[in-house]
Structure 1
Amino acid sequence: MARVLALLGSINVGSNRIKMAALKEALAASGFRDVETVAASGNVILTDERDPAMIEIQLESVVAQNFGFKSCAMVRTADEVRRAIDENPFHGTGPEHGSDKMVHSIFLSQQPDKARVDALIEEHRGKGSERLALGDRVLFLDYVHGVGVSSLSNKLLERRIGCKGTARNMTSLKRILEKMD
């Protein structure tokens, strides 16, 4: 059986508060096996052999039915999580790389059109210090001075590139990957 990571968006953001024990219990009651949460931001490791798209639909349904709000779910394998770390051009050591807390991989619901991402990068040029790059169903983003001072909100990014996404910083992804391995 395959262990996968489910990244749930909008968890413990704003009024969307969920205790991880309650999330774990709701997922187990819905038939998910070996459910383990990592941190309090909607990172769930579980065992499931189904198509990732089917898992995502069920996860979104469980959150809506049990907690009363809409969340997006992105399911990834350990290899995909590893690539989201290793292929992030802003992650690493040296002065050209950002700090692990500021460098994010935004997991996307689909591969966005490259032209839309290029337009977003061009539109943002000169407006802020953030850096963006596109990967395989992931948008790499170095917030440089912090998420809170950036104009690149999740809503703006989703609107510009035409797909949903949920972000995790390198610190979180490394911790998640350790638990998956």
Structure 2
Amino acid sequence: MPTWIALLRAVNVGGRSYPMAQLRAVLTEAGYGDVETHIQTGNVRLTSPLRSRAKLESELERLLSDDRGFTVEVVALTPAELAEIAADADELSEADPPSGGHYVSVLKTAPTDAGRRTIETDPPEGERVHVRGRAVHLLYDKPYHEARRSNAAVEKALGTSTNRNATVVRALAAKWGA
């Protein structure tokens, strides 16, 4: 049975509460296997007979939105994809260490060439943007809240995404990656 990493967008922020114990219970009751969560930001590992990423995301979004009463967008990855994103984060941080932080926006769909050019070209001073597959790496030499190329800018240029600190991405990959 395929293993998936589901990253939930914007849960446990702004009144959009989803306690991880309740999330695990809902997923287990719905028939997903080996359900685990990591910290409170909506990181879930599960198994499912579904092999289509789009079908899995759609089914999880419906299930979780029905349970919560608000939209819960899901970005799904395979363990190998998660490991690759973490490896890219290591490579990019080692090549040009950010003094303010490294964040990764994981996209729901592959970026277009035009969108990629928009987000990568001419970033503001102290900001570097690298698109690798479905991941946008945001490296800052300033605090995250001061950055202009944030997850909101990523979504404007490339579509739905969910953002994690590179430290969390590395921890997830160590725990659940291929």
**Both structures adopt the same fold (TM-score exceeding 0.5):** yes
Provide, for residues 41-82 of structure 1, a one-character-per-residue CA deviation record: whole Å limited to 9, x for no partner. Answer: 000001123112111111111221111211221111111011
Match of 2:175 among 155, 172, 179: 179
Correspondence list, 1:28-47, <5 A: 28-47=28-47
The aligned counterpart of 2:165 is 169
User: How far is 1:40 from its partner?
Assistant: 0.4
Answer yes or no: is 1:67 the counterpart of 2:68: yes
Answer yes or no: is 1:152 the counterpart of 2:154: no
Correspondence list, 1:107-146, <5 A: 107-122=106-121, 124-125=122-123, 127-146=124-143
The aligned counterpart of 2:93 is 91
Alpha carbons of structure 1 residues 30 and 137: separation in structure 2 relative to 1, 3 Å = same
User: How far is 1:23 from its partner?
Assistant: 0.8
Q: Tell me, in whole angstroms, the C-alpha distance in 2 between the residues paired with 1:119 and 1:151.
A: 13
Provide, for residues 18-55 of structure 1, a one-character-per-residue CA deviation record: whole Å limited to 9, x for no partner. Answer: 11001111111222111100010000001123112111
TM-score (norm 2): 0.88
User: How far is 1:97 from its partner?
Assistant: 1.6
Q: Which amino acid aligns with 2:164?
A: R
The aligned counterpart of 1:78 is 79
User: How far is 1:135 from its partner?
Assistant: 1.0
Q: Tell me, in whole angstroms, the C-alpha distance in 1 between the residues paired with 2:168 and 2:33.
A: 23
Q: Is the 8 A contact 2:32 2:46 kept in 1?
A: yes
User: How far is 1:16 from its partner?
Assistant: 0.9
Q: Is the 8 A contact 1:85 1:105 kept in 2?
A: no
- Return 130-139 or 110-119, whichever deviates more: 110-119
The aligned counterpart of 1:105 is 104
Q: Tell me, in whole angstroms, the C-alpha distance in 2 between the residues paired with 1:144 and 1:46.
A: 35
**Structure 1 vs Structure 2 CA RMSD:** 1.9
The SS at the match of 1:31 is coil
Q: Which runs of 5+ in 1 are unaligned?
A: none
Q: Which amino acid aligns with 1:141?
A: L
Q: Is the 8 A contact 2:111 2:133 kept in 1?
A: no
Q: Is the 8 A contact 1:90 1:141 kept in 2?
A: no
Q: Is the 8 A contact 1:104 1:140 kept in 2?
A: yes
Q: Tell me, in whole angstroms, the C-alpha distance in 2 between the residues paired with 1:2 and 1:83.
A: 18
The aligned counterpart of 1:18 is 18
